[in-house]
Amino acid sequence: MKMKKILCVSLALLMLLALISCGASKAEADNAYRDMADLYYEAPKEDTKYKDLNGSVSESLFDGASGTGKAETESGDFEEKLIVTVTLRAQTKEYEKALEQVRGALSSLGGYEESFSSNGRSYGSSSSYCRSARLTVRIPSESLDAFLSEVGELVNVVNEQIGRVNATEEYYDLASRVRVLEEERAAYETMLGKAVSVEEVLLIKDRLYNVISEIESAQTRMKVIDSRASYSTVHLTLEEVVDYSVVTTPKTTFGSRIANAFTRSWKNFAEGFQDFTVWLIGAIPTILLLAVIGAGVAAVAIVSNRRLKKRLNKKDEE
């Protein structure tokens, strides 16, 4: 009986010691976990260089992640990002002179030519031979109205279309995203400086690469919007014509329709006659050559026919 009491007391002491040991181990584990959490998730310190998107980003493992345009103006208001695209179709009787004048107006207003193409040839008086040019130009947004007004004085504008896209919301959404990503980047850079194992370094670098890629993608899109908003795009088609197209209010009366039909018919006949005359004059040398060849063939045929008849008559006589 006494032995059983000794065993029970011993077991109770062992259980008490085990509980104490487990409590100490748990406290040590909790402290270690908190230290690790403090190491990896320490909040980044405030840094003014991340506040201005127009400034460069801090020196880090990578280059080329600099910011782009300011997210807000100095007064705190958002700057509108309006992308304007204009499509013009114009006519001129003096193709080369008009083209030179349009380019001069573009240069004087601070714009530049983005692309150019042309087709046709200057020959004869028919519209089928006339040239045309297609230009895509970029003009500062504040000078767009002045450029369109000057082009309207230089050439005959027969069609004008203006398209506007407001990219303000998209632009400042991207600006806010860049700010958040910069804070996340700073946190990862702090964690990278405190990492001790190779696995931790590789994991943090991988996440840092992804964040920097997102920053650069957003900033590239912001730069595109900045460029398109600050420089409007004008697509100009310039056609060489003999007579300008006259835009008038359509008349619906029967007499006016007959008069218009007669005018169009006579104009088409006159142009067709002019085209035929030009073609005929150009074809005279060919026609003369063909006539000489035809006359020679006809002469040979006549002579051969006469000889053949003489032979036949001689046979008949024999």
* DSSP secondary structure code for residue 51 in this structure: T
Among candidate residues 5, 40, 48, the one with its CA nearest the CA of residue 183: 48
- CB atoms inside a 10 Å sphere around CB 27: 10
Host H or E run for residue 308: helix 254-317
Q: How far apart are the first and last CA of the chain?
A: 174
pLDDT for the residue numbered 213: 93
- Cα–Cα distance measured from residue 288 to residue 266, given in angstroms and rounded to the nearest whole number: 32
Query: Which residues, in sequence order, are bridge partners of residue 115?
Result: 136
pLDDT for the residue numbered 53: 33
CA atoms within 13 A on the CB side of 308: 6
pLDDT for the residue numbered 23: 47
Contact between 68 and 54 (Cβ < 8 Å): yes
- Cα–Cα distance measured from residue 69 to residue 297, given in angstroms and rounded to the nearest whole number: 83
Total-model pTM: 0.53
pLDDT for the residue numbered 302: 86
If 0-12 CB within 10 Å is exposed, 13-18 middle and 19+ buried, where does residue 189 land? middle
pLDDT for the residue numbered 24: 43
Number of residues that this document lists for the chain: 318
| 33 phi/psi in degrees, rounded to 5 | -65, -40
Host H or E run for residue 107: helix 95-108
Per-run averaged pLDDT (10 residues), the chain, 318 residues: 51 50 43 40 37 35 38 59 94 90 93 90 56 93 93 92 93 93 92 88 91 94 93 93 62 69 76 79 85 84 81 71
Host H or E run for residue 236: strand 231-240
Most distant CA pair in the chain, distance? 175
Q: What is the DSSP string of 116-129?
A: EEEE----SSSGGG
- Cα–Cα distance measured from residue 241 to residue 156, given in angstroms and rounded to the nearest whole number: 10
Q: Starting at the earlier edge strand, list the strands of the sheet with 82-92.
A: 112-119, 132-140, 231-240, 82-92, 156-166
- Cα–Cα distance measured from residue 297 to residue 304, given in angstroms and rounded to the nearest whole number: 11
